[in-house]
Amino acid sequence: MRLGYTAAAVREAEAPLLTAGRGEALMRAAAAGLASVCRRLLSERGQIPGSRVVMLVGAGNNGGDALYAGANLADRGAHVTAVDVFGKQHPAGSAAFISAGGRTEAFSPETAAVIAAQLRRADLVIDGVLGTGAKPGLPDDLSALIRDWQGSAASSQFVVAVDAPTGVDASTGACGPTHVRATHTVTFGADKAGLLLPGGADAAGEVTMVDIGLDMSPHVPAVHVPDDAALATLWPRPQAGDHKYSRGVLGLVAGSARFPGAGVLTASAAVATGVGMLRLLAPAEVTETVLQTYPEVVTDAGRVQAWAIGPGAPDRLTMQHAITAAESQQLPLVIDAGGLSLLTRPLETSCILTPHAGELSELLARLGTGAPSRSEVEAEPVTHAVRAAQVLEAIVLLKGNRTIIARPDGTVVAPEPGPATLATAGTGDVLTGILGALLATTAGTDVDLADLAGLAVLMHARAGAHATHASHLPAVLEADVLAVLDQA
């Protein structure tokens, strides 16, 4: 699982090493990692000798990292130009760069057009303007240069950002109106949270973390990104002594005469994910279809270990009874779609809420915590998901191209985006079925619900890579779950 930290946490981890006089060693280690990535990219395209490299160099340590890396490339025959953006460079880095044969040009209104042309012609551009403490919003002349360069640069050009792309908040992922769009980012000491979050992740491209010896153990990660390794090790597995009740029973309220398909999809996904028993409370239009494929599904009320409610506009009274039962018995539940309209307060049990941007906008407005529009939620998904999680004291899974799972403490789980094939009707119902099954099979354990939700999103994305429509997802999902279980 990849962990992302705020820029402040990384600076705190650096502080003891800087106090001990190891600042130059840290910079050299960072620059060596940066140069290694640049050499690899240039070698993939052809060869390093004769390649054209242009560096945008700021005044601080970020610029120093770039200069040392530029010296490394120049030593190997690359034609490297350092653009002095602010009229001041890291002294030792600049000396090493000039000694290696690099050339420097000052950035000014008079040289801007020439520099923009050099940037466009470069095989590789190194963005070393600002460090991780910088915020979005750039000087007008620098913004104009970036727009002039990236507006017409070749699509084959490599752009390597140093620690974080210029114009991107390394802690939040917020991007200024003008920012560098990198193909690769080389970050140092620890992954920065903003490079793993919406906005920043898109601007950063492929992220490589270079270990420079920081101890991040005292610091709480702001972002968790689940990966295939986490899926293989953390996915719940049936045990030798299990029976249907100990394996987990899910109570599901999904579907209606108007939207029977949503209930069928949710139930099918829950069964495919694996539960000891599924109790489906739904009208005949739903249950009859489900029983044709899954005759083991029980359609009467009874003992459950977790609840999932909401897909397909189910009966509101039945959903309310499920919420009441969950609270009185301290059972976890997942609430989707129609169930979200029942929420007016924090529930007295653990729960995962799964709104899309429009539903989250409506939910926040109903709770009296502001009324962001759907577009505002989509523009700042982390901000609004965290606010909802804090107000409702719940895990909020905000569905979207890059799904965000927020905890009340402000930390988030940010799975990699799933395939575009998931952008079809019914895929959210399948996700609710996966979540419900996982809640049932882990009920009574100390599992972190946000991390569990991250696994669900990851498995959902896996299935989506092999399906073109929601009704095919459960069959693919079952095969994917079995493949993960076989990795034990």
CATH number for position 142: 3.40.50.10260
pLDDT at 294 over 80: yes
Domain boundary residue, one of 196, 221, 246: 221
Binding residues: 61-65, 127, 131-137, 163, 166, 262, 312, 356, 399-403, 428-429
- The pLDDT assigned to 488 comes to 60
Looking at the structure, tell me whether residues 196 and 242 fall in a common domain: no
pLDDT at 141 over 70: yes
Binding residues for (6S)-NADPHX: 61-65, 131-137, 163, 262, 312, 356, 429
Looking at the structure, tell me whether residues 469 and 380 fall in a common domain: yes
pLDDT at 334 over 80: yes
Looking at the structure, tell me whether residues 216 and 270 fall in a common domain: no
Looking at the structure, tell me whether residues 169 and 233 fall in a common domain: no
Rounded average pLDDT over 8-36 = 96
Looking at the structure, tell me whether residues 150 and 285 fall in a common domain: no
345 close to 280: Cβ distance less than 8 angstroms: no
pLDDT at 487 over 90: no
Binding residues for AMP: 399-403, 428
- Find the domain containing 171 and state its range: 2-221
Q: Which residues contact 95 (CB under 8 A, 6 or more apart)?
A: none
pLDDT single digits (tens) 226-251: 998 998 899 999 888 889 999 999 99
pLDDT single digits (tens) 108-117: 999 999 999 9
235 close to 455: Cβ distance less than 8 angstroms: yes
Report percent pLDDT > 70 for the chain: 100
Rounded average pLDDT over 440-464 = 96
Q: What is the mean pLDDT of the chain?
A: 95
Report percent pLDDT > 90 for the chain: 92
| SS3 readout for 38-97 | HHHHHHHHCCCCCCEEEEEECCCHHHHHHHHHHHHHHHCCCEEEEEECCCCCCHHHHHHH
pLDDT at 140 over 70: yes
Q: What is the CATH number of the domain that holds 447?
A: 3.40.1190.20
Domain boundary residue, one of 221, 254, 275: 221
Looking at the structure, tell me whether residues 158 and 196 fall in a common domain: yes
pLDDT at 323 over 80: yes
Looking at the structure, tell me whether residues 428 and 310 fall in a common domain: yes
Count of domains for the chain? 2
Return the structure tokens found at 444.
């009574």
Looking at the structure, tell me whether residues 189 and 236 fall in a common domain: no
Strands 412-413 and 223-225, sheet pairing: parallel
pLDDT at 127 over 80: yes
pLDDT single digits (tens) 154-208: 888 999 999 999 999 999 999 999 999 999 999 999 999 999 999 999 999 999 9
Looking at the structure, tell me whether residues 451 and 316 fall in a common domain: yes
- What band does 310 get if pLDDT is binned at 50, 70 and 90? very high
Looking at the structure, tell me whether residues 185 and 331 fall in a common domain: no
> Mutual orientation of helices 473-485 and 427-442 as an angle, nearest 10°?
30
Return the structure tokens found at 159.
């752009």
- What band does 43 get if pLDDT is binned at 50, 70 and 90? very high
- Report the candidate in 449, 333, 343, 337 with the shortest Cα–Cα distance to residue 391: 343
Binding residues for K(+): 62, 127, 166
pLDDT at 263 over 90: yes
Looking at the structure, tell me whether residues 359 and 300 fall in a common domain: yes
Domain boundary residue, one of 162, 197, 221: 221
pLDDT single digits (tens) 63-104: 999 999 999 999 999 999 999 999 999 999 999 999 999 999
- The pLDDT assigned to 186 comes to 98
| SS3 readout for 400-459 | CCCCEEECCCCCEECCCCCCHHHCCCCHHHHHHHHHHHHHHHHCCCCCCHHHHHHHHHHH
Looking at the structure, tell me whether residues 212 and 168 fall in a common domain: yes
